[in-house]
Chain A
Amino acid sequence: MTTTQLAGLLPELEVIRADFPILGRTLAGGLPLVYLDSANTSQKPQVVIDTMVDHLERHNANVARAMHQLGAESSEAFEAARDKVAAFIKAPSRDEVIFTKNASEALNLVANTLAWARGDLSIGTGDEIVITEMEHHSNIVPWQLLTERTGATLRWFGLTDDGRLDLSDIDSLITERTKVVSLTWVSNMLGTINPVAEIARRAHEVGALVVVDASQAAPQLPVDVVASGADLLAFTGHKVVGPTGIGVLWGRREVLDQLPPFLGGGEMIETVRMEGSTYAPIPHKFEAGTPPIVEAVGLGAAVDYLSMIGLDAIHRHEQTITTYALEGLATVPGLRVLGPLDAADRGGAIAFEIDGVHPHDVAQVLDSRGVAVRAGHHCAKPAHARFGVQSSTRMSSYLYTTPAEIDALVEALEYTRSYFRLG
């Protein structure tokens, strides 16, 4: 595949692509794979696959409880992964990094333990939780559950016509009653990058906690948890070239110390008597049961891989590809992009609709040409409803995406229009 040369692409893109074995496979009919579904899940480099296989082949044992050499090696690898993640997000302390199953579990951990919290963090009638209309369902439903259970009120930022947060009513939304502001850093549907630090500043003025869903940000922006303004921040492993089954919750120590435990069981205790128990300090307080060990080890290799390439360079690559894609999509008649049209303010996910063809049918025709995209509501039904659509087609690029793949997408979209006889 010859690559159009654009300033801002990752140097040695072909070398990076060679790190991802799946990109070399072909699909039915011998077609090359054009994978444009990385916001859904990213592909995995060989180093992540090898690290996980090596752990299973040579070091497998349970962690923190096996008194033998394998147990020590496994525990060491698991805790080293925590160090790598802490470095990846510039966490002030490794103890503030909690492994979860995914971002959904991390967000549910926060919403549930807040519902159970007593003292300063307790939430009840008259209190308010503020989210936004562009959230993934995993940052909506846990807060709906929390407000139903506590009697608090759920409020949200609306969106502007060009797909940004409408901050015009920020002072009436974030008030003395606000206990939590939870928002996404980068929208998984609109691609919008939100001014998280600015909103966090306002939230902190009224004493609210700030929860940030960084599921789409962590793969493509340099993350500094302290600079972000978040008190708690969640992301998932499988979107940062790591495996599924592992997510991360970072929280400021003072907040995590105040929150009650989430799941009870092994590993999260200090001591257990039949009359009652005391709990381990963070991070283990929130990690009951045998954790996803090999998945954590794989995530450690994944974030090291991304750091080696450099998040600034990856972000620049994504912006370059996104600019190129927005230009290409603009040439397709009847195509409307949902979200900002300026690549500077957005991530690498671009949702769009085509007049006269349902997104499922678009994705089906693209798939027949080897182009993998997502169609549907992308777990963001309210954001779709805001723009008067029930679903959309979404292309999402990553560090291995080439301009030639964008060309293939645009060509396949033209073919889709002709297939459905739209001229």
Chain B
Amino acid sequence: MSHDLDSLYQDIILDHAKRRLNSGLREPFEAEVHHVNPTCGDEVTLRLHLDGDVVRDISYDNQGCSISSASASVMTELLIGKTAAENQPVFDAFLEMMRGKGQVEPDEDVLEDAIAFAGAAKLTARIKCALLSWMAYQDALARAQEDSHV
């Protein structure tokens, strides 16, 4: 039972929840979005700075549980500095794992620290916590790209 708890709250997650890498809102940015988990009220404001196709910065301000805070932290560490196209497989793999009801074997080469959320994927109530900042990133990316094509 506390084994289950430990598989959810892995050290990677507790560590990221505490450190909250890249948190705080920064300039410049091309898109800012605000996402809410209506069932629990968790919130994130996320800014994306694109330089051509390269994700130069993702900054955020969030109020949420350790799973949603850690997820934002891990995500920014994984995605900053790569092109949006390079990030897409990581994003897709994370989504696939979180929506896989714990049946999807995550690829550590692609997901790196984000495989720590495999435990959360087994808990219906926590999937949205882990996905909140990722969905915000996807939304911000779409807006930034849309604006750059206008």
Contact = CB atoms under 8 A, between A and B. Distances in A.
Interface of A: 28-29, 31, 358-361, 364-365, 368-369, 375-377, 381, 384, 390-391, 419-420
A85 to B, nearest CB: 31
- Most chain B beta-carbon neighbours within 10 Å: one of A28, A384, A390: A390
A376 B1 contact: no
Given A358-B66, A390-B63, A376 B39 contact: yes
Interface stretch (B2-10, B49-57, B76-84, B106-114): B2-10
Given A376-B41, A391-B40, A360 B67 contact: yes
A364 B1 contact: no
Contacts of A364: 5, 8, 123, 126
A384 B43 CA distance: 14
Given A375-B40, A377-B41, A391-B40, A368 B65 contact: no
A79 B23 CA distance: 60
A390 B43 contact: yes
B11 to A, nearest CB: 11
Contacts of A31: 1
* For the complex of A and B, 6 pairs with smallest distance between CB atoms: A360-B65, A358-B65, A29-B1, A376-B40, A377-B41, A368-B5
Given A28-B1, A358-B69, A390-B63, 10 more contacts: A28-B4, A358-B64, A360-B65, A360-B126, A365-B5, A384-B41, A390-B41, A390-B42, A419-B5, A419-B9
Contact of A377 (B1, B5, B40): B40
Contacts of A29: 1
A365 B14 CA distance: 14
Interface residues of B, number: 21
Chain A facing B: main interface SS: helix
A31 B5 CA distance: 15
15 contacts: A31-B1, A358-B65, A359-B65, A360-B42, A360-B65, A360-B66, A360-B67, A364-B8, A365-B5, A368-B2, A377-B40, A377-B41, A390-B41, A391-B41, A420-B14
Nearest to A415: B2
A5 to B, nearest CB: 30
Contacts of B65: 358-361
Contact of A360 (B1, B4, B129): B129
- Most chain B beta-carbon neighbours within 10 Å: one of A28, A358, A359, A384: A358
A377 B126 CA distance: 16
A377 B123 CA distance: 20
Nearest to B14: A420
A163 B67 CA distance: 30
Interface in B93-150: 123, 126, 129
A420 B8 CA distance: 13
A368 B1 contact: yes
A369 B4 CA distance: 11
A368 B4 contact: yes
Contacts of B123: 364
B56 to A, nearest CB: 30
Contacts of B42: 360, 390-391
B144 to A, nearest CB: 27
Contacts of A375: 40
A375 B14 CA distance: 19
Contacts of B69: 358
Nearest to A357: B66
B5 A360 contact: no
A397 B129 CA distance: 27
Contacts of B14: 420
Contacts of B1: 28-29, 31, 368-369
A390 B5 CA distance: 24
A284 to B, nearest CB: 36
Contacts of B5: 364-365, 368, 419
A381 B14 CA distance: 27
A34 to B, nearest CB: 14
Contact of A361 (B2, B39, B43, B66): B66
A364 B120 CA distance: 11
Nearest to A369: B1
- Most chain B beta-carbon neighbours within 10 Å: one of A28, A369, A391: A391
A116 to B, nearest CB: 29
A420 B2 CA distance: 13
B135 to A, nearest CB: 17
B148 to A, nearest CB: 34
A31 B4 CA distance: 14
Contacts of B63: 390
B131 to A, nearest CB: 14
A141 to B, nearest CB: 13
